Structure 1
Amino acid sequence: MGVKLIKISVVYFVIGVCIGLGMSMTHSFTLTPVHVHINLLGWTALTLAGIIYHLFPQAAATKLANVHFWLHNIGLPVMMIGLVFVVYGNEAFVPVTAIGGVLVVLAVIAFAVNVLQNVRTPS
């Protein structure tokens, strides 16, 4: 699970950096919220979660880890696609953005519960 999260986080990192490069080349920073969220919730959060799961394999082997992985990696793309439309003025995509956001929040809660229940100092 840890390695899987780290690898997928690198995909988000590449996407986030490419969005940043595109914005800087065009001097249009409309997608800044998308760039920031992909880098924070995709690259940073999933890398850290992957490291935690790698260091604490008992947490990585739980159903909560699977729930975290899938909710996060379904919710984040949904939220980002919705947010792209919203920042370009299509308010009809606000509910799509919100649904993706709720899935990510649920993923983070599952991760937090998993860490609190299953990450322990070795005896």
Structure 2
Amino acid sequence: MERKYLLTAFGYGILGLVLGIYMAATKNHGQLVTHAHIMLLGFVVTFVYAVVGKLWPVDSTSLMARIQFYSHQLATPVLILGLFLMYGGLAPAPVVGALLAVSSLVVLLSFILMKVMIIKALKQ
């Protein structure tokens, strides 16, 4: 699972840097919030999950580990896309609001599941 997290993290890092370079080149920083979420939630949190999995190995074949991984990997791009649409003026906040709310809650759930898995791993 650590390898999947690591590769995904660097994919988000590349995406975030490309968006940041685009904003700098165009001097249009309207997607600053989207950029921040890509870099922090996409790159940093996903990278931390990879490191945590390496330092405190969890049973990556367990149902909880699979739910945690896929919930984070499905909700994060949905959240990022919703922010991109909203801050790009492509969709008004009321339209993407529910999408952002649900995806944020799923990301939170995956964070909580990671904490539970770490607690279990530390008890062993």
TM-score by length of 2: 0.89
Gaps of 5+ in 1: none
CA apart distance, 1:49: 0.8
Gaps of 5+ in 2: none
What is the percentage of aligned positions where both structures have the same residue?
A: 23
Counterpart selection for 1:101 from 87, 100, 104: 104
CA apart distance, 1:61: 4.1
3-state SS of paired residue (2:30): coil
- Letter of the structure 2 residue corresponding to residue 84 of structure 1: F
Cα RMSD (Å) of the superposition? 1.5
In 2: Cα distance, 1:16 partner to 1:120 partner: 36
CA apart distance, 1:100: 1.2
- Deviations 1:85-106, CA, capped at 9 Å, x for gaps: 2223412111111111111111
- How many equivalent residue pairs? 121
Do the aligned partners of 1:41 and 1:76 also contact (CA within 8 Å) in 2? yes
In 1: Cα distance, 2:74 partner to 2:58 partner: 24
In 1: Cα distance, 2:77 partner to 2:6 partner: 17
Counterpart selection for 1:110 from 87, 108, 113: 113
